Amino acid sequence: MKKIYFVGAGPGDPELLTLKGQRLISEADAILFAGSLVSKAAMMWAKESSIIQDSKGMTLKEITDWLISHAVDNAKVIRLQTGDPSLYGALVEMIQPLDKEGIAIEVIPGVTSAMASAAAAVETLTLPEITQTVIFSRVEGRTPMPEGESLRELASHHCTLCLYLSITLLKKIKTELLAAGWDESAPIVVVYKASWENEQQIIHGTLATIREQCQQAKINSQAMIIISPTLGARHWKTLKKSKLYDADFTHKFRKANKIKEENI
């Protein structure tokens, strides 16, 4: 049977590949990887006989033609994509031509850069009674945004924003967030090449300062922007604690230590 695996390579550190993704790479007969975004270190498990091709200079048709040409019966063919294939991965665009050829598809999820960036900066994206919502989005540039999904509209919720593919649009980000009611002192974290050994950079700033900070650091690609009311919570003196671990909170696996009297 002809089959192609779309494997999420994660944010950069090859150890952040899933075990299934690592196994498939070690078994693959052909691997097409996004060389401009995926670390070559992810190929450390590939067998010597595997055909490995970088797709960074290829068009969509060239990519799908390559995959189709290598998808012979019983061959294990992998399209290795940065982060998670389902998020900004042009997944459906690549799969449609394969569907027409009757080639089976399996997608293996990966760690997306928003999670890797939060981990690198030791930040939480949600906090009780602060925000329980995370929006993954990007800022309109050459690709238009659908109606109702402008940054200003999304930012009006004042929850966590994880912005992909937008590091060159920090001026616009500031304008739109100010218009949505954010303050210039709102904290922002920018993480460049999250988890990439010897290349990762973490910049803590504010809406007022982050653009100049990134320009000074010469960061203009492969960066995650996190804007959230939770940023810096590690250093707050007081926090609203999670009910899950509250001694006074009963749940399926633990009874409360005491029952609070209700006000009558």
Per-residue pLDDT tens digits for 44-83: 899 999 999 999 999 999 999 999 999 998 899 999 999 9
Q: Are residues 138 and 167 in the same domain?
A: yes
Q: Are residues 75 and 40 in the same domain?
A: yes
Q: Are residues 62 and 171 in the same domain?
A: no
What is the span of the domain harbouring residue 73?
Answer: 3-108
Task: Measure the CA–CA gap between 10 and 12, rounded to whole angstroms.
Answer: 6
Q: Are residues 128 and 88 in the same domain?
A: no
Is residue 247 in some structural domain? no
Residue 251's pLDDT is 63
Residue with the two structure tokens 């009963």 = 250
Average of per-residue pLDDT across 75-97: 95
Is residue 241 in some structural domain? no
Domain boundary (79, 108, 137) is at 108
CATH number for the domain spanning 144: value is 3.30.950.10
Residue 244: pLDDT over 50: yes
77 CB-side CA count, 13 A: 23
Residue 233's pLDDT is 93
Residue 260: pLDDT over 60: no
Is residue 263 in some structural domain? no
Average of per-residue pLDDT across 13-41: 90
Residue 246's pLDDT is 63
Q: Indicate the number of domains in the chain.
A: 2
The model's confidence at residue 43, banded by pLDDT at 50, 70 and 90, is confident
Q: Are residues 100 and 123 in the same domain?
A: no
Average of per-residue pLDDT across 212-233: 96
CB 257 within 8 A of CB 247: yes
> Which pairing describes strands 223-227 and 201-206: parallel, antiparallel, or unpaired?
unpaired
Q: Are residues 100 and 133 in the same domain?
A: no
Is residue 251 in some structural domain? no
Domain boundary (86, 108, 130) is at 108
For the chain, what percentages of helix, strand and coil (3-state, to nearest 5) are there? 30, 20, 50
Q: Are residues 207 and 118 in the same domain?
A: yes
Residue 263: pLDDT over 50: no
Q: Are residues 43 and 132 in the same domain?
A: no
CATH number for the domain spanning 75: value is 3.40.1010.10
Is residue 256 in some structural domain? no
C-alpha torsion angle, residues 191, 193, 195, 199 (rounded to 10): -110
